[in-house]
Structure 1
């Protein structure tokens, strides 16, 4: 008998910016800026450099703290962080790429797995469009 697959929720969003990809990356890799542009984040503490394998704690609005791990870091291009919330795993993949001519495109994909993922997913990603818009505003402001 096979095991049932865990419940999964996925959310994807993209936005373009007049800023170069490097300006977005500068905000992403400086976790002290995250509360400035992501309304769901109150603080982030990493136990090392912004590189794959680094762990830490993210304080989310509420407030409540959750363990965070940087699973993938491709400097200037992409990072994937994973939050562990009991039986739920939230993976957020962030990708930025320069557009031909000028500006960049930012894509954020969230995957939530575990019991209740389909129910909690819309709540977890509700502020994602606002976070992306604020991120782009700050990157464009320099």
Structure 2
């Protein structure tokens, strides 16, 4: 199967519930995520809800929530037909009392081999900055 993948993790003192509050408040994402200029969500933060995200200086992208497990993970998917971009955002409480935040993107489908190496790094380049900003705002 054609696939491109990338994963980034960091640890924070913020508990999962604090991080989840920021994830599930989609309208406020631009306040801590520099990769989001504008965002509109078409319903509650549950499976099946779509949202439209506009990166700075770019075209709006429509995505759908395909997995939502409060305080644990959510997955969003952008279906472009011949390729699909799936990003899993996961929280893992560690024995040390810290929380591990993981962002994982997979690009699959017939065009993934061509699209992945170009689009993948563009999508995931800011993961370290985004996760750091999320941790900071959640640590409050």
TM-score bracket relative to the smaller structure: 0.7 to 0.9
Q: Counterpart in 1 of 2:98?
A: 103
- 1:11 alignment partner in structure 2: 6
Gaps of 5+ in 2: none
- How far is the alpha carbon of 1:85 from its aligned partner? 4.3
TM-score of the aligned structures, taking structure 1 as reference length? 0.87
Q: What is aligned with 1:130?
A: 129
Q: Name the SS of the counterpart of 2:37 in structure 1.
A: strand
- Give TM-score, length-normalised by structure 2: 0.88
Q: Note the residue ranges of structure 1 that are not aligned, 5 or more in a row.
A: none
After the TM superposition, list the runs of 4 or more consecutive aligned residues in structure 1 that deviate by more than 4 angstroms: none
Distance 2:98 2:127 in 1: 20
Q: Distance in 1 between matches of 2:71 and 2:118?
A: 33
Counterpart check, 1:84 vs 2:83: no
Q: Name the residue aligned to 1:32.
A: 27
The CA distance in 2 between the partners of 1:40 and 1:87, in whole Å, is: 24
The CA RMSD measured in Å over matched residues stands at 1.6
Distance in 2 between residues matched to 1:83 and 1:42, nearest whole Å: 18
For residue 41 of structure 1, give the secondary structure of its aligned residue in structure 2: coil
Structure (1 or 2) with the greater strand fraction: 1
Distance in structure 2 (CA, Å) of the matches to 1:73 and 1:29: 9
> Which of the residues 49, 57, 68 maps onto 2:63?
68
Aligned partners of 1:101, 1:54: CA distance in 2, in Å? 35
* Secondary structure of 2:53 counterpart: strand
Aligned pair count? 136
8 Å contact kept, 2:74–2:88:
yes
